[in-house]
Structure 1
C-alpha cells in the first residue's frame, strides 16, 4: 500500500512538472526597470531596461534598453521582445517609472496589471519622472555602470531618507482604500545624474500638484516616524543644521462625526551639527534654539496641511484616522468635510547635543 502511494506521488510530480515552463537563468534577460511616457490619450511609449550579462566568469553587465509604443504595457513588452536577444523576464522588476504627463491623465490602468501579476514583487519602487522616462533610462551615468542599479539604489537608500517610502503595495492600498490619496517621489535627469525633485500628489489616480524637497521632508515628519536627515532653521542672523535623531508623530481625533477635529502631535529629537558663530553653552540658549525650531516646523506643517486641504487631496490619511475613530462614520461625507476640518499641529523639540566643542 505504501509502495503504491509512493509511486502515485512520484507520477503526479512528474506529470505536474512536465506541464511547467522551465526557465534557465542564462537564457533570460531580466527586466529591472521600466518607464512610460505619454504619446496621446490611447498610446504610451514604454522603455524597458534589461542589462545584458555576457557569458563567462567575472563579466561586467552591459546596459541594454528597448523602447516601443502601444496601448497596453503587455503589448509594449511584446514589441520589446522583438529586439531582445533573450527572453525578457519581469520577475525581478525593481523600479517602475511614470512621466508627469502620464500621471496627469491617470495611472490606474498602468498600476492595475502590476497588482494582478503573480510574478512581480510588491516591493517595487514607483516614481514620477519630470521629463522623459526614455531619456532617463537610456542615459549614461558617471556614478554607475548599470542605470537600473543606480535608480534602484537612489529610490531605496537615498530618497527614502527624505520622503515616505512608496512601494507598489502601499500605492495600491492608497489607490483602492478610503481616506488616503497616493503620493510618489519625483525624479529628474540632470546631466549625468538622477536627482530627487520632490513629492507628487495625487487625487484618486491623477497627479494634481507637487511638494518641494523641503516640504516633502515636512510631509514625511507628519506621515511617519523616522530618523536621518537635517532640519535647517534660521536663528538670529545665522543658520543652524540640526540632525534628526528621532521623529515621532501621533494623530488624535476629537469632536463628532459631523464635525471632527484633528490634532497632530510631533516629537523631534535632534543634535546640532552646524551653527557657525553661535554659542550654545547654556541651557537657556539651547531652549531658545529649540523654541525657534518648534516655531518653524509648526509653521511649515500647518502651511503644508492647508495646501493639501485646498487641493482636496488627503495625502496624510486623515480620513482613515477619522473613520477608525467614529463608529459607522459615513465615508461619503468625507469628501465635503475634509477641506474644512480643523487640523492643529503641536510640535515638541528636544536638542540633546550641541557638539563636541560646546
Structure 2
C-alpha cells in the first residue's frame, strides 16, 4: 500500500469514528436513559414500577429523578412511564433492578423474565431485594454519598463483592443459579437507614421465592463455600467475658467437595476449606507466638462450627445456595432438582477446615 493510500485510509477511519460519535450523541439526545428500576407489591393484581432517571445540570453535575406507575403487568407499567416522559425511555444503561420483600415472597421470575427478553439489558446488572421500605422509596431518596442513586446501588454491591464478604452476585449469576441444577439463587438485601443505604445480608430463594435470609456476618461463610478469593474478614472470639477477640483477614481460600456413595439415595458430602490469612487486629495487649497459636486453634474450631451451622440452616430451609447439589449431580446419573429436594434436608454434609496464619499484620 502506498503512502498516499495509507493516509487516505487513516482519514477514512477517523471520519468513521467521528460520525459514530455524532450518531451516539444524537441517539442519547433523543432518548431518556433509565439507570435503575424498582418494583413493589401493591395488591394481588397490581404492582408498582419506579424508574430512576439521570438529570444533567450545568457542567458535569448530575442528579436523579424518579417516576412511577401502577398496573397489572410490567408491559403496561412501561407504557404508563413512557406517557410521563418527554423522550422515549431506554433500558440500555440500567445498572440495578430492585424488588420489595413482598414481591420476592410471591416470586420474581414473571418480572425478571421481561429483562431476559430485553437484548439491551446487560448480564452484569445488579438485582437486589429491598428490606423494610419500598423500592420506590429507596429510589426517590437523595443520598449525600452519591447523587446518582443507581450508581450508588451498583457501586455499593460491587464494592462489597470485590473487597468485602459478599459472594459474586449479578443478573448472570442469578440466572445461572435459577436455571442450573443442584443450586438455588440468592440476592443482596438493601436497607435504608437515614440518608444512607446499606447491605444487610442475602435473600435466599427457593426457585424464585424468598425462603430465608442470611445475615451479613454469615455471607463470608457462603463466599468461602462458593469461591476462591483473597478478601473478606472473619472475627474470632477468644474469650467473650473478657471481650478478647481477633480479626482474621482472608488472603487466599479454596474449598473442595468429595462425594461418598454418589450413586446412593443418601450420599455423604465432605468439604475441605483451606484458608490462609493474617491476623489484622487483636483486642489484647500482646500478640506473641503462643497467642498466635491460640488464635489459630480457635479459628479452626470456630470456622468449622460456623460452616456446618450454615449448612444445617440451608438444610432446614431446603435451599442450596452453596451449590452442594451440583457436586452430587456430577456423580449421580439419576440426579434432578426434584430428587435433590427430597435428599438435601437429610443428606450427610460435613465441612472440615485447614487454617494457615501467614503473618499477623499488626505492629507491636
Q: Which range is displaced more, 286-295 or 151-160? A: 151-160
Give SS of 2:203's match.
strand
Query: Does the 8 Å CA contact 2:280/2:362 hold for their aligned counterparts?
Result: no
Distance 2:91 2:361 in 1: 49
Q: Deviation of residue 326 (structure 1)?
A: 2.6
Distance 1:162 1:74 in 2: 36
Give SS of 1:320's match.
helix
Mapped pair 1:259 → 2:249:
no
2:178 alignment partner in structure 1:
175
Q: Deviation of residue 23 (structure 1)?
A: 6.4
Change (3 A) 1:330 1:152: closer
1:47 alignment partner in structure 2:
50
Q: 2:344 aligns with which of 330, 338, 358?
A: 338
Calculate the aligned-residue CA RMSD, in Å.
2.0
Q: 1:268 aligns with which of 269, 272, 275?
A: 275
Query: Does the 8 Å CA contact 1:159/1:196 hold for their aligned counterparts?
Result: no
Per-residue CA deviation, residues 121-147 of structure 1 (Å, 9 max, x unaligned), is 111111000021011000011111211
1:315 alignment partner in structure 2:
321
Q: Deviation of residue 327 (structure 1)?
A: 3.3
Distance 1:330 1:100 in 2: 29
Distance 2:175 2:262 in 1: 30
Query: Does the 8 Å CA contact 2:91/2:120 hold for their aligned counterparts?
Result: yes
Per-residue CA deviation, residues 61-109 of structure 1 (Å, 9 max, x unaligned), is 2311111111222221221112222221001110010111100000010
Per-residue CA deviation, residues 159-216 of structure 1 (Å, 9 max, x unaligned), is 5532112211221122222111111110011111001011101111110110111112
Q: 1:280 aligns with which of 279, 287, 292?
A: 287
Could you list the runs of 4 or more consecutive aligned residues of structure 1 that deviate by over 3 angstroms after TM superposition? Answer: 327-332, 355-358
Query: Does the 8 Å CA contact 1:323/1:331 hold for their aligned counterparts?
Result: no
With normalisation by structure 1, the TM-score equals 0.89
Per-residue CA deviation, residues 255-275 of structure 1 (Å, 9 max, x unaligned), is 132221111111111111111
2:151 alignment partner in structure 1:
149
With normalisation by structure 2, the TM-score equals 0.87
Change (3 A) 1:322 1:23: farther
Aligned length: 336
Q: 2:136 aligns with which of 134, 157, 166?
A: 134
Per-residue CA deviation, residues 19-70 of structure 1 (Å, 9 max, x unaligned), is xxx961112221110000001122111110011225x7x3312311111111
Distance 2:311 2:262 in 1: 21
Mapped pair 1:201 → 2:207:
no
Query: Does the 8 Å CA contact 2:279/2:362 hold for their aligned counterparts?
Result: no
2:35 alignment partner in structure 1:
32
Q: Deviation of residue 328 (structure 1)?
A: 4.2
- For residues 1-358 of structure 1, what are the structure 2 equivalents within 5 Å? 24-54=27-57, 58-130=59-131, 131-160=133-162, 161-236=164-239, 237=242, 238-257=244-263, 258-282=265-289, 284-329=290-335, 331-358=337-364
Distance 1:194 1:119 in 2: 27
Distance 2:352 2:306 in 1: 12
Distance 2:152 2:70 in 1: 25
Q: Deviation of residue 333 (structure 1)?
A: 2.1
Distance 1:135 1:201 in 2: 23
Query: Does the 8 Å CA contact 2:262/2:331 hold for their aligned counterparts?
Result: no
Distance 1:355 1:317 in 2: 33
Unaligned runs of 5+ in 1: 1-21
